[in-house]
Chain A
Amino acid sequence: MIEKETEIVNRLGLHARAAAKLVHTAGAFQSRVTVARDGEEVDAKSILGVLLLAAAQGTTVTIRCDGRDEEKAIEAVTALIANRFDEES
């Protein structure tokens, strides 16, 4: 299992469309992928779970990946967040 802390940097935070992109990205991998904030950890492949975090801009979250493609999964998820979910220039 590997994990990485990252900051939500897009203006709208982890809102519905961003959460859907996160779920689609995480769902492309076999590994279990979770997102944690302040001790609350949710399945990154569940959109309702991700929305539950209510992670606004500036929130630090921890991405955890566990499985045979965990390296690629954590790279893809953290890149999506760093790229502001492709919704801002």
Chain B
Amino acid sequence: MIGKLILTHGGTARELLAAAQTISGRLAAFEALSLDWNDGVEEAKAQVAAAIERLDQGEGVLILTDMYGGTPCNVASSLQQPGRVEILTGVNLPMVLRLACQPCENGGLSQMARWLQEKSQRSLCLVSDMVQPPKCPDGSEAVSAPAEKKHD
């Protein structure tokens, strides 16, 4: 099983994993690592490296981090190894839930990372675009047809 590490500053990683577990139940091969704002880079790197070692069962580790260019991402980047450690930025609850609920590991780590990136880029929506138009009393649509929905 591919390991999944949610890596952020502050408590975001911990809370994202807690929310996903509340929704989906206990998640195997997941870990949250919340870096302290006062941690130095070397200390943070040691924590991330240790988490990778804990999670890697031979199929690699996908790191989900918050912002490209932020310290968690920069620290993770220094540990990136194609095929063993991949990093995806912009972690959010839909991303974690998608990983938790859908089998997507058959193609290996790199393919899973690419799959999740493509799916997650389509998971933002303006809710007013998604709402069904009001119905007339006879059941016909009062305004235009529903906007095309982009999720899968």
Contacts and interface: CB of A to CB of B under 8 A. Distances in A.
Nearest to A37: B132
Interface residues of B, number: 18
Interface string B92-115: 001001101111000000000000
Given A24-B25, A46-B151, A48-B119, 15 more contacts: A16-B97, A20-B23, A20-B97, A27-B102, A27-B103, A40-B149, A42-B152, A46-B152, A47-B97, A47-B98, A47-B100, A48-B98, A48-B151, A48-B152, A52-B130
B149 A23 contact: no
B24 interface: yes
Interface residues of A, number: 18
Contact of B132 (A27, A38, A46): A38
B81 interface: no
A48 B24 contact: no
A17 B22 contact: yes
B123 interface: yes
Given A47-B102, A48-B97, A16 B23 contact: yes
Nearest to B19: A16
Nearest to A51: B151
Contacts of A17: 22-24
Contacts of B24: 17, 20, 24, 47
B123 A48 contact: yes
